[in-house]
Amino acid sequence: MVVSEGIVLIGAGNVATHLGAALRRAGYDVKQVYSRTEASARTLAERLDTAWTTCLDEVRADAGLYIVSIKDSAFGEVLPQLTRRNASALYVHTAGSMPLSVWEGLADRYGVLYPLQTFSRRREVDCSEVPFFVEANSAEDTGLLCRLARELSKRVFMASTEQRGYLHIAAVFACNFTNHLYALCQELLAKHDLPFEVMLPLIDETARKVHELSPAEAQTGPAVRYDENVISHHLQLLADRPDLAKLYELLSKDIFRSTLSPPSPR
């Protein structure tokens, strides 16, 4: 254990919930949970068997590490109040798109601990497989955060603020946008009396494939062949859904474009 004075979690959303559970399992003392919302604060505190508060002035001043997992738009309000409490502690946030410099002028020791995963409260996640990306304002605290992250996960990397920004965008494409394609599937199938479950083997294989082949090598379907018969037939069937037709056309053209340029190396 690299933080003997205990940890306070600022935020009680999906990331805080999963991170808190992983820290507890690793033996850490999670001393307190703060959330603006009482129900969230209490729920997570009960899961972690610890104290909670909805008032930043009541956040304990004696922790060694404060982990901030809140909506990016709340940073401006929360950070200055939080860092007043304890001048010697280490402060980190878990946001992909927030720079390290968001802490500048507010604390002496600060960093970022970014877990690249999609967390939902209703699903258990094996934290040991989650890639963590670490950054801090000193070599010492970079080392400390790496050691902490290695207690939670097998996959720990250092990443600059700029790299983390691109990792976050990549995660939006690979997870949020992908999941939205699944949602559009479900909508389309339901309309034609077909259950979404029939797509699961295909969804699984599509994910498994890119463990072995690069995405460019793994591509199949009408767009990569630019099979105009199929594409125009599909666009006809989507005539009553211009939003889907537009997306279909844009992605098909982009798939075909990418076959014309050499795939980037794995």
Structural contact between residues 115 and 164, judged by C-beta atoms closer than 8 angstroms: no
CA–CA distance, 201 with 125 (Å, rounded to integer): 21
Which CB, 8 or 134, lies closer to its own copies?
Answer: 134
Least distance in Å: CB of 47 to its own copies? Answer: 19
Least distance in Å: CB of 58 to its own copies? Answer: 26
Coil, strand or helix: which one is 32? strand
Taken as a whole, the chain contains a residue count of: 266
Backbone angles phi and psi of 252, in degrees to 5 = -65, -45
CA–CA distance, 110 with 91 (Å, rounded to integer): 5
Q: Which CA distances in Å does 153 have to 43, 61, 73, 90, 98?
A: 25, 28, 28, 20, 22
Which CB, 50 or 133, lies closer to its own copies?
Answer: 133
Least distance in Å: CB of 223 to its own copies? Answer: 6
CA–CA distance, 219 with 202 (Å, rounded to integer): 13
Least distance in Å: CB of 232 to its own copies? Answer: 10
Which CB, 105 or 201, lies closer to its own copies?
Answer: 201
- Spell out the residues 6+ positions from residue 233 whose beta carbon is closer than 8 angstroms to its own: none
Least distance in Å: CB of 227 to its own copies? Answer: 6
Least distance in Å: CB of 36 to its own copies? Answer: 15
Which CB, 6 or 215, lies closer to its own copies?
Answer: 215
- Spell out the residues 6+ positions from residue 56 whose beta carbon is closer than 8 angstroms to its own: 34, 78, 81, 82
Which CB, 21 or 199, lies closer to its own copies?
Answer: 199
Which CB, 62 or 72, lies closer to its own copies?
Answer: 72
* Nearest-10 crossing angle of helices 242-260, 178-191: 130
CA 77 and chain centroid, separation: 22
